[in-house]
């Protein structure tokens, strides 16, 4: 926790900043707003039955808290977070709501009822999860800080845990991540809010995708800029993964993005 600074974000909710990584955990525009717009709102369409949710990179649990606040019925939430100390304090961070959500989190941390915590590296946890989920939140730090959270291999394992009528959600809309999703043959959509692209959703059920990638955007995934991060055995470190990708880009005969953009 000594590397973590508490900040107040623009919607008044508390956010965190990691000094060591020089990276924020939550958008400065609003931690709570971000959770709602990027993770909950795109999944409200599924709020018709008790939901099974996987929250990858739980942090202090905004996405889980916002899910409890907004969905009518949740069957279970599995949360994965490598920083045990941080997650165990998550109920101490104020979350304004008419429901007493922090109390629910605290109770479940001590005595898991419907929220289950896995305090480990998602790369170790993912293969051992024995169910599929209606909703998967993927909220890792950005690839330029933690490429290991966005590899083609990890994304493929994550998507294997998605129900065929489920929705995968992330704030990330970078080309290597879209391409990793594309390789799983899932339908990919843009999360657009007030004409701004704020994230990505994916589902095997194309009826659940409001703004699918168009042919031009799919074409971009065939350029060098969309070369994915590789982590074959799910145990490489950030630097190894980034170096591998840089080498692959250097030796690749794929078209560059700028050439593709000029041509189209």
Ligand X SMILES: C[S@@+](CC[C@H](N)C(=O)[O-])C[C@H]1O[C@@H](n2cnc3c(N)ncnc32)[C@H](O)[C@@H]1O
Tokens representing 89 are 């304090």
For ligand X, the closer of residues 37 and 139 by Cβ is 139
The two structure tokens encoding residue 73:
């019925």
Q: Output the smallest distance, CB 224 to ligand X, in A.
A: 27
Select 60 or 101, whichever has its Cβ closest to ligand X: 60
CB of 164 to ligand X, least distance (A): 25
Residue 162 C-beta: closest distance to ligand X, Å: 18
Measured between alpha carbons, how far is 90 from 18 in angstroms, rounded to an integer?
Answer: 15
**Cβ atoms of residues 175 and 254 within 8 Å:** no
Do 155 and 177 meet the contact criterion of CB atoms below 8 Å apart? yes
> Are the C-beta atoms of residues 54 and 78 closer than 8 Å to each other?
yes
| Helices first, then strands: H and E counts in the chain | 10, 10
Q: How far is the CB of 255 from ligand X (least distance, A)?
A: 32
Q: How far is the CB of 257 from ligand X (least distance, A)?
A: 26
Residues that bind ligand X (CB under 6 A): 25, 57-63, 80-83, 86, 121-123, 139-141, 146, 149
Q: Which residue number, 146 or 187, has a Cβ lying nearer to ligand X?
A: 146
Specify the residue, 224 or 238, whose C-beta has the smaller distance to ligand X.
238
Residue among 146 and 165 whose Cβ is closer to ligand X: 146
80 vs 220 by CB, closer to ligand X: 80
Cβ 4 vs Cβ 17: under 8 Å: yes
Q: Six-digit token pair at 220?
A: 């971009």
The residue number with the shortest CB distance to ligand X is 59
Of 121, 114, 116, 189, give the one whose Cα is nearest residue 157: 121
Taking each helix axis as running N to C, give the angle between helix 62-70 and helix 101-110, from 0 to 180 degrees, rounded to the nearest 10: 120
Cα–Cα distance measured from residue 203 to residue 166, given in angstroms and rounded to the nearest whole number: 6
The stretches of the chain forming alpha helices (DSSP H) are 31-34, 62-70, 84-88, 101-110, 122-125, 152-160, 175-183, 215-220, 238-251, 257-263
Q: How far is the CB of 264 from ligand X (least distance, A)?
A: 33
Which one, 86 or 198, has the nearer CB to ligand X? 86
CB of 259 to ligand X, least distance (A): 33
């Amino acid at each position: 926790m000594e590397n973590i600074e508490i900040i107040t974000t623009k919607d008044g909710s508390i956010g965190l900043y990691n000094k060591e990584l020089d990276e924020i955990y939550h958008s400065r525009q609003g931690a709570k707003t971000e959770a709602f717009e990027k993770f909950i709102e795109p999944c409200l369409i599924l709020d018709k039955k008790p939901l099974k949710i996987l929250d990858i990179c739980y942090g202090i649990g905004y996405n889980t808290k916002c899910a409890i606040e907004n969905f009518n019925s949740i069957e279970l939430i599995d949360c994965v977070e490598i920083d045990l100390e941080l997650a165990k304090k998550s109920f101490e961070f104020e979350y304004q709501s008419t429901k007493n959500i922090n109390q629910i989190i605290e109770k479940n941390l001590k005595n898991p009822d419907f929220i289950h915590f896995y305090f480990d590296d998602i790369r170790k946890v993912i293969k051992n999860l024995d169910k599929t989920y209606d909703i998967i939140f993927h909220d890792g730090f950005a690839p330029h800080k933690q490429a290991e959270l966005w590899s083609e291999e990890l994304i493929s394992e994550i998507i294997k845990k998605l129900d065929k009528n489920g929705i995968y959600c992330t704030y990330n809309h970078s080309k290597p991540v879209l391409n990793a999703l594309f390789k799983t043959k899932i339908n990919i959509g843009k999360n657009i809010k007030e004409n701004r692209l704020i994230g990505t959703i994916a589902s095997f059920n194309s009826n659940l995708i409001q703004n699918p990638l168009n042919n031009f955007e799919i074409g971009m995934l065939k350029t060098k800029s969309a070369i994915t991060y590789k982590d074959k055995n799910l145990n490489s470190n950030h630097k190894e993964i980034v170096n591998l990708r840089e080498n692959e880009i250097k030796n690749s005969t794929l078209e560059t993005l700028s050439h593709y953009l000029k041509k189209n």
